[in-house]
Amino acid sequence: MAVTAVCPGSFDPVTYGHLDVIRRAAAQFDRLVVACLRNAGKRPLLDVDERLALLEAVVVDLPNVEVAAFDGLLVDFCAERGATVIVKGLRAASDFEYELQMAQMNARLGNVETLFLTTSPVYSFLSSSLVKEVARFGGDVADFVPPIVAERLSRHR
């Protein structure tokens, strides 16, 4: 049976760290849906259409990956898409406590397993928030995000 997984996040913006997890997850499942939270609690820098457009551009070479926005509960989105697995990246032990709570809550709310991929060490320090801060002050983000994302961030200086 074909297995669909969901890789959720705010993606404000997508970084090479996200992309690393997306690529590695795509290699493990028949179909991967990258799910972009529409109304990210923190006020996002990029609106959801921009975040989706950037995601679509950076996964264009991955044929089993699709991109979609969601709001409401992640487990409801998984049910709508027929997904039985949520894939999350873990950068460090500090990520684990909150991710564990979310995984256990999602398991209680829906018929879905959460699988964790450990972030590749070269990206373990990366976060969208830090990338935005570096870009805001004119720093070079070329090592952290794909060129199309860097170009988009440069407009916010």
Residues designated catalytic: 18, 42, 91, 128
Q: Which of residues 107 and 150 has its CB atom nearest to ligand PNS in the complex?
A: 107
Separation CA 15–CA 85 (nearest Å): 22
Angle between helices 128-136 and 147-154 (to 10 degrees): 50
Which residues ranging from 73 to 132 are in contact with ligand PNS (CB under 6 A)? 73-74, 102, 105-106
Separation CA 126–CA 13 (nearest Å): 12
Separation CA 115–CA 148 (nearest Å): 29
Give the nearest distance from C-beta 10 to ligand PNS in angstroms. Answer: 4
CA angle in degrees (0–180, nearest 5) for 21-23-24: 65
Give the nearest distance from C-beta 37 to ligand PNS in angstroms. Answer: 4
| Interface residue with ligand PNS, options 6, 7, 10, 126 (CB under 6 A) | 10
If you ran DSSP here, which 8-state letter would residue 120 be given? P
x-marked contacts with ligand PNS along 20-59 as a string, rule CB under 6 A: -----------------x----------------------
* Chain contacts with ligand PNS (rule: CB under 6 A): 8-10, 37, 73-74, 102, 105-106
